[in-house]
């Protein structure tokens, strides 16, 4: 990493802190956690309440529905939390960041720094590292916090080690999503294409490919892995390697395109 | 010396530059004048490698295409940084001594939030940013266009300061009043070429014409037999241009023509040409 990249990272840390991005990302993770936890604790009592109020009322199907949507067991509940993070939090993050780099370039913010020796790749690196780490870090902290609180009020069926691995994998998922969004935003003429393709990928692909054996080697399996709170760590190797390979290839493609 | 040689640039459906060539002496201020859309910014961007020319070269001293300091018309900054942080970012390190020197030079107070800066202050910060790399040649695109009169004077003072330090400055503008007072030489960019070049200082020292005011409407047709270049300013006022290469003869003919006029002359004054007049003649 050269001095230009380090300076861009420092600058982007200030950007995150001063433009409210840290608060936004932390607030989103916290809000999703509170919502899932609240629904789980409130909704799980509703069938019993109904049964008490209306004796003879058939609560079995309602109980089943509530336990599927908001299970009162740690592993399943953490899985639901990570699904909401993968769905809503990723979507907000993508919408916030997809236009950042093209907008900076278009408005001429890069002209004066580039005169002094900065390159486009320095700006890209700064954004990927800072926003990727911020989103990933928030998810990891939020995940572990949710796990610990869930352990106190739900049926414990997940080890801390498993939660830590899943939290790290989900943090990496967000890091990759952020990095891909920034890279695609510089690759396509219109950054909206980058946002739409990323949102479509993270929402549709993990569910669609879950039914096929090839789905287990695609990078999107890393999302499926945390949604299922899986402990089959061997399944992480191939998707992770493929993910890193894609990212490196895309990085070089963008670098080459920007040099042209 | 900066030498621009036969620059061509076309965009889809429009050829903007059709062979622009000019030279700028070291330590001088060169004004690039032209209407909006004449290609001034395109030329500036080519000169700073931000845009590739279809053909042609720019030489800075001996080297081809060497990058020098360029300030765009509306410089864009990271609004959430302070002036100090921005300059440190451009310097690649925290360097309080160098940073303070730059801020002092452009007359900015340290540690101001960029978000709160006025347009004039932004232009000063932009100039400080350009000076970070201590360039010998500085290119400024419309540096005064968005400023009020006091801001324009500040920027003009700064440019004179830079010139006194031996920097070569090339600036583009359509505000000609600014050029008259600071430029050594000016080039008029029109129809994709430098249509005319003038030595501003020399031009100001030489009066090439007379402004004549009459009591009644003069007979311009009769006068034009003696003086070929007559410009009617209004019904009672005209400007006559004296041919510098044949001054005694031209003056004599003018007097003969005036003597033949029936209209009484109420005043005569010398017409010092301005860049504005040349602009009207060349570019409009």
More confident residue, A220 or B181: A220
**Cβ distance of B78 and A15 shorter than 8 Å:** yes
> Which residues of chain A neighbour B85 with C-beta distances below 8 Å?
11, 14
State whether B33 and B63 are in the same domain: yes
**Separation between Cα atoms, residue A58 and residue B283, nearest integer Å:** 89
Report if residue B278 sits inside a domain.
Answer: no
Q: Which of A10, A14, A113 sits opposite B80 (nearest CB)?
A: A14
> Which residues of chain A neighbour B67 with C-beta distances below 8 Å?
115
**Separation between Cα atoms, residue A242 and residue A222, nearest integer Å:** 11
Q: 3-class SS at A73?
A: strand
Q: In CATH, what number is assigned to the domain containing residue B136?
A: 3.40.50.300
Report if residue B283 sits inside a domain.
Answer: no
**Separation between Cα atoms, residue A207 and residue A211, nearest integer Å:** 8
User: Chain A to chain B, count of Cβ pairs less than 8 Å apart?
Assistant: 54
Picking from B198, B279, B192, the residue whose alpha carbon sits closest to that of residue B6 is B192
Tell me: pLDDT of A44 over 90: no
Q: Which of A3, A14, A112 sits opposite B81 (nearest CB)?
A: A14
More confident residue, A200 or A42: A200
> Which residues of chain B neighbour A117 with C-beta distances below 8 Å?
92, 133
Listing DSSP states for A146-161 in one string gives: HHHHHHHHSB--S-HH
State whether B197 and B210 are in the same domain: no
Q: For A10-22, write each residue's pLDDT tens digit.
A: 999 999 999 999 9
Conformational region of residue B166, where left means phi above 0, alpha means psi within -120 to 50, and beta covers everything else: left
What is the predicted pLDDT for the residue at B272?
66
> Which residues of chain A neighbour B122 with C-beta distances below 8 Å?
none
**Cβ distance of B72 and A108 shorter than 8 Å:** yes
Provide the domain count of chain B.
2
Minimal Cα–Cα distance from A115 to chain B, Å?
7
What is the predicted pLDDT for the residue at A215?
81
Residue that finishes a domain, picked among B203, B231, B252: B203
**Separation between Cα atoms, residue B43 and residue B47, nearest integer Å:** 6
Distances (CA, A) of A167 to A134, A142, B2, B224, B229: 14, 8, 59, 92, 85
**Cβ distance of A111 and B70 shorter than 8 Å:** yes
What is the predicted pLDDT for the residue at A210?
74
Nearest chain B residue to A19 by CA: give it.
Answer: B80
Contact B55, B4 (CB under 8 A): no
Listing DSSP states for B238-277 in one string gives: EEEE--GGGHHHHHHHHHHHHHT--SPEEEEEEE---HHH
What is the predicted pLDDT for the residue at B207?
55
**Cβ distance of A112 and B75 shorter than 8 Å:** yes
State whether B234 and B171 are in the same domain: no
Q: Which pair of structure tokens corresponds to residue A32?
A: 């999703």
State whether B156 and B60 are in the same domain: yes
**Cβ distance of B92 and A7 shorter than 8 Å:** yes
Q: Identify the band that residue A202 occupies on the pLDDT scale cut at 50, 70 and 90.
A: confident
State whether B157 and B219 are in the same domain: no
Suggest the residue from A4, A112, A127 to mutate for an interface test with chain B (most B CBs closer than 10 A).
A112
**Separation between Cα atoms, residue B243 and residue B208, nearest integer Å:** 7
Nearest chain B residue to A108 by CA: give it.
Answer: B76
Tell me: pLDDT of A182 over 80: yes
Suggest the residue from B76, B79, B81, B91 to mutate for an interface test with chain A (most A CBs closer than 10 A).
B76
Q: Which of B67, B77, B133 sits opposite A109 (nearest CB)?
A: B77
Q: Which pair of structure tokens corresponds to residue B199?
A: 């030595």
State whether B146 and B246 are in the same domain: no
**Separation between Cα atoms, residue B114 and residue B57, nearest integer Å:** 36
State whether B54 and B180 are in the same domain: yes
State whether B131 and B101 are in the same domain: yes
State whether B58 and B194 are in the same domain: yes
B130 touches chain A (CB under 8 A): yes
Contacts for A198 with CB less than 8 Å, ≥ 6 apart = A94, A98, A177, A180, A181, A184
Contacts for B67 with CB less than 8 Å, ≥ 6 apart = A115, B48, B49
ipTM value of the model?
0.85
Contact B21, B6 (CB under 8 A): yes
Q: Identify the band that residue A129 occupies on the pLDDT scale cut at 50, 70 and 90.
A: very high
B67 touches chain A (CB under 8 A): yes
Tell me: pLDDT of A67 over 90: no
More confident residue, B6 or A51: B6
**Residue position matching structure tokens 């200030």:** A14
What is the predicted pLDDT for the residue at B65?
46
> Which residues of chain B neighbour A112 with C-beta distances below 8 Å?
71, 75, 77, 90, 126, 129-130
Question: Whole domain around residue B166: which residue ranges?
Answer: 2-203
Residue that finishes a domain, picked among B155, B174, B203: B203
Report if residue B253 sits inside a domain.
Answer: yes
Regions of chain B with pLDDT less than 50: 64-66
> Which residues of chain B neighbour A108 with C-beta distances below 8 Å?
72, 74-76
State whether B129 and B21 are in the same domain: yes
Contact B114, B82 (CB under 8 A): yes
B90 touches chain A (CB under 8 A): yes
Tell me: pLDDT of A224 over 70: yes
Residue that finishes a domain, picked among B161, B183, B203: B203
State whether B156 and B125 are in the same domain: yes
State whether B232 and B181 are in the same domain: no
Picking from A75, A74, A70, A73, the residue whose alpha carbon sits closest to that of residue A36 is A70
Q: Which pair of structure tokens corresponds to residue A250?
A: 């895309």
**Separation between Cα atoms, residue B153 and residue B233, nearest integer Å:** 30
Picking from B222, B255, B258, B218, the residue whose alpha carbon sits closest to that of residue B235 is B218
Return the domain boundaries, chain A: 3-259
Report if residue B282 sits inside a domain.
Answer: no
Suggest the residue from B75, B77, B78 to mutate for an interface test with chain A (most A CBs closer than 10 A).
B78
**Cβ distance of B80 and A18 shorter than 8 Å:** yes
Nearest chain B residue to A6 by CA: give it.
Answer: B92
Suggest the residue from B90, B111, B126 to mutate for an interface test with chain A (most A CBs closer than 10 A).
B90
**Cβ distance of A11 and B48 shorter than 8 Å:** no
Q: Which pair of structure tokens corresponds to residue A216?
A: 């287990």
What residues are paired with B17 via a beta bridge?
B9
């Amino acid at each position: 990493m050269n001095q230009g990249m380090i300076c861009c990272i420092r600058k982007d840390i200030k950007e995150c802190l001063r433009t409210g991005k840290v608060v936004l990302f932390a607030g989103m993770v916290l809000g999703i956690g509170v919502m899932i936890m609240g629904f789980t604790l409130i909704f799980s009592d509703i069938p019993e309440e109904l049964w008490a109020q209306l004796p003879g009322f058939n609560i079995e199907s309602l109980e089943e529905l509530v336990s599927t949507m908001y299970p009162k067991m740690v592993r399943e509940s953490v899985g639901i939390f990570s699904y909401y993070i993968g769905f809503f939090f990723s979507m907000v993050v993508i919408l916030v960041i997809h236009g950042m780099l093209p907008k900076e370039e278009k408005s001429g913010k890069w002209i004066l720094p580039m005169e002094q020796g900065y390159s486009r790749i320095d700006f890209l690196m700064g954004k990927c590292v800072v926003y990727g780490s911020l989103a990933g870090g928030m998810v990891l902290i939020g995940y572990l916090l949710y796990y610990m609180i869930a352990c106190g009020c739900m049926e414990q069926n997940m080890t801390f080690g498993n939660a830590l691995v899943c939290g790290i994998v989900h943090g990496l998922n967000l890091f990759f999503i952020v990095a891909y969004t920034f890279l695609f935003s510089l690759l396509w003429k219109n950054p909206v294409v980058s946002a739409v393709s990323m949102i479509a990928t993270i929402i549709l692909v993990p569910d669609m490919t879950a039914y096929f054996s090839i789905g287990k080697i695609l990078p999107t399996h890393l999302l499926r892995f945390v949604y299922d709170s899986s402990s089959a760590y061997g399944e992480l190797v191939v998707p992770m390697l493929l993910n890193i390979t894609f990212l490196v290839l895309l990085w070089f493609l963008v670098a080459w395109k920007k040099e042209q | 010396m900066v030498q621009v040689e036969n620059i061509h640039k076309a965009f889809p459906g429009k050829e903007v530059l059709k062979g622009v060539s000019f030279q700028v002496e070291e330590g001088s201020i060169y004004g690039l004048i032209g209407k909006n859309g004449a290609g001034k910014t395109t030329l500036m961007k080519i000169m700073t490698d931000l845009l590739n020319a279809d053909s042609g070269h720019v030489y800075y001293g001996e080297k081809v295409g060497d990058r020098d300091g360029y300030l765009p018309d509306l410089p864009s900054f990271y609004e959430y940084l302070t002036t100090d942080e921005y300059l440190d970012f451009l310097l690649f390190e925290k360097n309080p001594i160098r940073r303070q020197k730059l801020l002092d030079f452009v007359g900015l107070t340290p540690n101001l939030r960029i978000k709160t800066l006025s347009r004039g202050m932004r232009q000063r910060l932009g100039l400080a940013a350009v000076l970070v790399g201590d360039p010998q040649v500085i290119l400024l695109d419309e540096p005064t266009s968005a400023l009020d009169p006091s801001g324009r004077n500040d920027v003009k003072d700064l440019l004179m300061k830079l010139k006194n330090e031996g920097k070569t400055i090339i600036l583009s503008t359509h505000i000609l009043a600014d050029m008259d007072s600071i430029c050594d030489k000016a080039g008029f960019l029109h129809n994709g070429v430098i249509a005319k070049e003038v030595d501003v200082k020399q031009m100001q020292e030489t009066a090439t014409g007379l402004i004549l005011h009459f009591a009644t409407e003069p007979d311009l047709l009769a006068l034009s037999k003696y003086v070929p270049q007559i410009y009617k300013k209004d019904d009672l006022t005209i400007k006559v241009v004296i041919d510098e290469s044949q001054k005694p003869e031209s003056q004599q003919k003018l007097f003969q023509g005036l003597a033949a006029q029936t209209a009484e002359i109420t005043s005569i004054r010398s017409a010092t040409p301005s860049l504005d007049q040349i602009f009207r003649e060349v570019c409009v």
